[in-house]
């Protein structure tokens, strides 16, 4: 199968076959990162702009390392260091980047839909690195890669996504992605952090974390998105930890081989206890490692890598 998409904008627009191709390609890309010399010439001559309107350590660095491992030229631009602060529009900024022959623009933006706005207006490929509370497809793909790697597949797994669902683009992309691949999803969180209509994505909804954890194969804890909350939606962090934090006692009802995930950064002792974050069930650092492989696969595929031969 050839990958024909110019852009990676969300999980809704990816078919089951395309998701499988991305994950299979990421599996091959991961081997490159394990070599003594972690670099191949696959994207030599390609220019990749990391256009981040929001602060990001993990995602920006992951895309940057992915680009460099494929020998692409990568350039980072932040909103505060761009002409945006002088009044230039988002579209004009993107068109100027395109005029400099950027092949791929990796974009994070605080407004939902910003990458979708630009994608049809520029020839450069657009990869959504997170937009508002809408989508974060590369995070969902690296989560799927990690679970598939540990469990051997995704179909039939019970995946509990717990926390601030309302403000989480990770939750929405994971619900869509895992559902497409045959997993059962249950979303849990405080009523003030649960968006109306989330059931329409095909997920069961509960406000009882113990019910969500019961029999789970995978538990994804989410960060409290304080920066995206117009009004603070919890009384105290101590109360949140008591009713919605994951701890050793709560984990007893999950499957014995349950995986614990978190997209980071972690609020330790609030969303998840210290011992579980660093414990034997945690695959949080595996998610970070696989993030580089998935982003290498996305960069490779959107520029036509699937048509031009093997990644090696």
List, as residue ranges, the binding site.
58-59, 86, 108, 136, 139, 169, 223, 264-265
Among residues 264, 294, 285, the alpha carbon closest in space to that of 33 is found at 294
Can you give the length of the chain in residues?
312
**E-assigned strands of 41-124?**
47-52, 73-78, 104-109
Which tokens go with 289? 């490692």
Annotated binding site for L-aspartate: 86, 169, 223
Rounded distance between C-alpha atoms, residue 235 and residue 96, angstroms: 46
Nearest Cα neighbor of 9 from 110, 96, 118, 103 is: 118
Widest CA span of the chain, in angstroms?
A: 57
Which residues carry a binding-site annotation for carbamoyl phosphate?
Answer: 58-59, 108, 136, 139, 264-265
Task: Specify the residue for token string 């627009």.
Answer: 13
How far apart (Å, rounded) are the C-alpha atoms in residues 98 and 95?
5
CA separation, residue 125 to residues 169, 216, 241, 300 (Å): 21, 37, 41, 11
């Amino acid at each position: 199968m050839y990958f024909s998409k110019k852009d990676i904008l969300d999980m809704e627009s990816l078919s089951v076959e395309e998701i499988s191709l991305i994950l299979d390609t990421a599996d091959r890309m991961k081997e490159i990162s394990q070599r003594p010399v972690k670099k191949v010439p696959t994207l030599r001559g390609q220019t990749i702009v990391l256009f981040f309107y929001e602060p990001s350590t993990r995602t920006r660095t992951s895309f940057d390392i992915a680009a460099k491992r494929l020998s692409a030229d990568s350039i980072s631009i932040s909103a505060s260091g761009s002409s945006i602060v002088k009044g230039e529009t988002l579209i004009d900024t993107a068109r100027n980047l395109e005029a400099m022959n950027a092949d791929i623009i990796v974009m994070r933006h605080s407004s939902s839909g910003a990458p979708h706005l630009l994608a049809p207006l520029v020839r450069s490929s657009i990869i959504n690195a997170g937009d508002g509370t809408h989508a974060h497809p590369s995070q969902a793909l690296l989560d799927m890669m990690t679970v598939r790697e540990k469990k051997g597949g995704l179909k039939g797994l019970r995946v509990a996504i717990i926390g601030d669902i309302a403000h989480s683009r990770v939750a929405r992309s994971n619900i869509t992605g895992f559902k497409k691949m045959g997993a059962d999803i249950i979303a849990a969180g405080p009523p003030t952090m649960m968006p109306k209509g989330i059931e329409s994505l095909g997920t069961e909804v509960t406000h009882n974390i113990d019910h969500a954890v019961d029999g789970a194969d995978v538990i994804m804890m989410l960060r409290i998105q304080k920066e995206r909350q117009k009004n603070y939606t919890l009384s105290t962090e101590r109360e949140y930890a008591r009713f919605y934090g994951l701890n050793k006692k709560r984990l007893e009802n999950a499957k014995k081989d349950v995986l614990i995930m978190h997209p980071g950064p972690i609020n330790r002792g609030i969303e998840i206890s210290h011992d579980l974050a660093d414990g034997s069930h945690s695959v949080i650092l595996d998610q970070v490692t696989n993030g580089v492989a998935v982003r290498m696969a996305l960069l490779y595929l959107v520029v036509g890598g699937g048509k031009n031969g093997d990644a090696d």
